[in-house]
């Protein structure tokens, strides 16, 4: 792994561990979403589901209940250009 890869990995770990604990302390937070940049995967955590993750992939709709918004995973990745998105677009 190159230096940039190790920095990205450490940022991901910080987002998943340290920031998550900080977010859970916010009484007004109802849900939050993590979007992978290298693969097509969206993870949504909801207070109403005891902060258990829900995973969304290409072809799925993500519903953000706290703001009444539905987004397709394709629309989330609309402007992303990586190997995973390229392969999925080619398969369309």
DSSP element (H, E) containing 3: helix 3-14
Q: Quote the pLDDT of residue 2.
A: 46
Strand, coil or helix: what is 52? coil
Whole-prediction pTM value?
Answer: 0.78
Strand, coil or helix: what is 20? helix
Q: Which residues of the chain have pLDDT under 50?
A: 1-3
Where are the domains positioned within the chain?
A: 3-91
Pairing of strands 42-46, 53-56: antiparallel
Q: Is 28 exposed, middle or buried (0-12, 13-18, 19+ CB in 10 A)?
A: exposed
Instruction: Give the position of tokens 């890869």.
Output: 5
Q: Quote the pLDDT of residue 67.
A: 95
């Amino acid at each position: 792994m190159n230096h940039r890869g190790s920095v990205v990995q450490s940022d991901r770990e910080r987002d998943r561990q340290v920031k998550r604990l900080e977010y859970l302390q916010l009484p007004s937070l109802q849900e939050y979403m993590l979007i992978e940049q290298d693969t097509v995967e969206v993870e949504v955590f909801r207070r109403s589901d005891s902060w258990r993750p829900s995973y969304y992939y290409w072809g799925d709709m993500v519903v953000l209940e706290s703001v009444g918004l539905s987004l397709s995973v394709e629309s989330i990745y609309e402007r992303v250009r990586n190997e995973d998105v390229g392969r999925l677009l080619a398969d369309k």
